[in-house]
Amino acid sequence: MDQDGAADRPLTGVRVADLTTTFMGPYCTLLLAQMGADVVKVEPPSGDVVRYIADDSGTGMGPVFLNANQGKRSIVLDLKDPAGRAALLRLVGTADVFVHNMRPDAVRRLGLTFSDVSATNPRTVYCAVRGFGSTGPYRDKAAYDDVIQAASGLAAVQGGTGEPTYVRTPVADKATGLMAVGAINAALYQRERTGRGQEIEVPMLESMVSFILLDQQGGYVFDPPRGPAGYARTSSPYRKPYRTADGYVSVMVYTDAQWRSFFGVVGWAELTDDPRFRTITERTLHIDELYRLVEEEMLRRTTAEWLSVLDAHGIPVMPVWTVPELFEDEHLRAAGMFQEVEHPSEGRLRLARCPVTFSASAPVDCRPAPRLGEHGAELLAELGYTPEEIRALGDRSQPTPT
């Protein structure tokens, strides 16, 4: 069943059986839903634990859940019960994609391995998003974003020369979710050529190691290493939002032409030929000196003055917004970044749309995130269950009263 108005979106007609919880998998399937897929969120009787994060109303509709699960339909199935597992396999028979974030031992116990699923539907693209790859000794370890930030090197990079620290958003979860979106779409494309699905494994640790090493491997690209790991520009203590005369501003001067323009704006024309700053190689070697000069100079004008003068010279500059200020930003408003929808239990919501646009697809508002089991009876009927069979499944297929 497609969402209203979704007929022209890239993934219209693709059904996703989504057994994921928390952040990583639901972010992946959120994006698939925003691209038009019919995402069926299969939840245990207790629901996805994220329902209850900051759930002040007691409805199981906390703000993170409302963001991460818009556009999806919810069905409650107890997969430890034969009737619940049978209903899931009937759903799998209609699904183009099956995605979960369970550990391998749990998948085996439930009889939901790739072999099990492909025996039911050989066209299904089977995607396991998990903490660690299945061929290494960590394969059965539990994992959340924090431990992956630590194990991937990200926490050490963030801490610089001080104590390791975490990025304040679950970046490992979300980056891995993005990796899974790309892998699923690639597998769907390959299926168009071969007619068969396949198994995809998207591990958090390996994904984030790839993510970090792109710019932080440094001299360790070579074997043996030719220098230290890291990237001097991003590790400089002077790389930060700069204080101005009345606030903060982010300025990123990067190319030779941009630095020449910046030196002219601030009256440092003589630095254009300074051997420390002439090329990107030289600037990287002396980045702390250079960024310290920028930090001192930023104090001399207001934020508005810096925005005006640096924009005029083509130098990347932006104000430092807080989260509430994002909703007032003129560009984001003009770009239609946010949609307003009425939720049947939570009232009026303001949600972010998919940031990707497609020239052949008009932006479409997704349905709001589902209440627990909200679409159970509807989905079971689509799968061919009779009204009597739906009633026999009882609470496993009915929404929890709110």
pLDDT digits (tens, 9 = 90+) for 195-235: 999 999 999 999 999 999 999 999 999 999 999 999 999 99
Residues 6+ apart with CB under 8 A from 101: 19, 20, 21, 22, 24, 25, 128, 129, 130
**Cα gap 132→147, rounded to integer Å:** 11
DSSP helix/strand/coil, 247:
coil
Q: pLDDT band for 395, please (50, 70, 90 cuts).
A: low
> How is residue 368 written in tokens?
């709001």
Instruction: Kindly compute the dihedral angle of the four CA atoms of residues 149, 155, 157, 162, in this order, to the nearest 10 degrees.
Output: 180
pLDDT tens readout for residues 262-306: 999 999 999 999 999 999 999 999 999 999 999 999 999 999 999
* Cβ contact 314:261 at 8 Å: yes
Query: Is the dihedral angle over the CA atoms 385, 390, 392, 393 positive or is it negative?
Result: positive
Q: Where are the domains of the chain?
A: 15-211+335-397, 242-319
Percent helix, strand and coil across the chain, each to the nearest 5: 45, 15, 45
Window from 22-36, 100-114, 144-158, 351-365 with minimum mean pLDDT = 351-365
Domain spanning 242-319: CATH superfamily: formyl-coa transferase, domain 3 (3.30.1540.10)
Task: Name the pLDDT band for 402 (thresholds 50, 70, 90).
Answer: very low
Catalytic residue among 173, 288, 311, 395: 173
In contact, 63 and 27? CB cutoff 8 Å: no
pLDDT tens-digit profile of 225-265? 999 999 999 999 999 999 999 999 999 999 999 999 999 99
Three-state DSSP class for 7? coil
* Predicted pLDDT of residue 7: 64
Cα separation, 138 vs 117, whole angstroms: 25
With a cut of 90, say whether residue 338 has pLDDT above it: yes
- What does the pLDDT read at residue 1? 43
Is residue 399 over pLDDT 60? no
Q: What pLDDT is recorded for position 210? A: 98
Which residues, 6 or more positions from 61, have their beta carbon under 8 angstroms from its beta carbon? 51, 55, 343, 345, 346, 369, 371, 402
CATH class of 15-211+335-397: alpha beta
Mean pLDDT (whole number) for 165-179: 98
pLDDT band with cut points at 50, 70 and 90 for residue 6: low
Look up 173 and say whether it is catalytic.
yes
The per-residue pLDDT for 320 is 97
According to the model, what pLDDT value does residue 8 have?
Answer: 80
Which pLDDT value is given to residue 188?
Answer: 98
Q: Omega before 224 cis (within 30°)?
A: yes
pLDDT at 3: 54
